[in-house]
Amino acid sequence: MTAIQCSWLIAGCGFCVGFLSTFYLASSVMKVREPHVQEASWKYKNIEIPTISNNDHLSKDLSRKVRVLCWIMTAPANLDTRTIHLKYSWTRHCNIALFMSSVTNESFPTIGLGTKEGRDQLYRKTIRAFQIVHKHYYEKADWFLRADDDTYIVVENLRWMLSNYTPDQPVYFGKRFKPFAEQGYMSGGAGFVLSKEALNRFVEGFQKENCTHTTSLEDIGLGQCMEKMGVIAGDSRDTEQRETFHPFTPDYHIKEGFDKSFWYWRYSYYPIVEASSLMIISKMYGFETLQKLLSFFSPFY
């Protein structure tokens, strides 16, 4: 056998070993990641969406101690292009997952809010959604997350942050902006989470007419209502003072910083630290396949 033939034989053997090792590893990972239905699921009009079981002990412990209901703001036109990817990715890690739309879709399923669609309807949808959650799920969760259908949430990181608080505290968290309310408000695009007491006060605010639909700008309207009802705008930054909720797509945080003329500098409640937290909670994803990629590579998932 010539030297060239020996080289090709060695290379071929190496390729085969590498291929088989990769195949075995991928198969093992896929087996571990296969979704399993567990008891944590939501029911609305006898329709269930299962959540995913997780073998990680810390994750399981957090899931029991910090019960998070996630509801997603969506629309009929987005179900097959956006929302479907949330249904089979991060929302499975919530204790309860609900999808809110203007109309009911029993096959997806979505909960119909009886509103019109459009950006001018966002606050009406949010008010109605929280009223439904308060009526049907108040005792089934401790924290209540609202997110758009183009947002990615690392639920375990959220639970880790929330574990430092109790649901009877009137507090809510998100990416905090400073105009339009004395204590600021939480950006709708980054998602925000209410404690049980914060949810109770928000719904009570409309029942007692302390809060009204004063603006179509959902996040500002909600922030102003929270302030009136004595709900604290919480600080969700990590120990290095880095933001964990992000209202932009990942490329904004990967490239070198924000231009100083960008409105984000004026709106951000806290000084901007141009580094991403290792305990990131939310990002707008911008394209659907990133949902699945982030779920696959997240250490908790």
Percent of the chain with pLDDT over 90: 58
Judged against a pLDDT cut of 70, whether residue 90 lies above it is answered with yes
Number of neighbouring beta carbons within 10 Å of residue 252 = 16
Domain residue ranges of the chain, discontinuous segments joined by + = 36-297
Select the more confidently predicted residue: 74 or 284.
Answer: 74
Tell me the pLDDT tens digit for each residue of 212-253: 998 889 999 999 999 999 999 999 999 999 999 988 776 565
Q: Is 92 exposed, middle or buried (0-12, 13-18, 19+ CB in 10 A)?
A: buried
Average pLDDT over residues 188-210: 97
CA-CA distance, 10 to 3, in Å (whole number)? Answer: 11
Judged against a pLDDT cut of 70, whether residue 6 lies above it is answered with no
Cβ atoms 245, 175 nearer than 8 A? yes
pLDDT at 257: 60
CA-CA distance, 154 to 244, in Å (whole number)? Answer: 10
Q: What is the pTM of this model?
A: 0.77
Judge: domain 36-297, CATH 3.10.50: no
CA-CA distance, 194 to 202, in Å (whole number)? Answer: 9
- The pLDDT-based confidence of 277 (bands split at 50, 70, 90) is confident
Judged against a pLDDT cut of 80, whether residue 85 lies above it is answered with yes
pLDDT at 119: 87
Judged against a pLDDT cut of 80, whether residue 266 lies above it is answered with yes
pLDDT at 61: 87
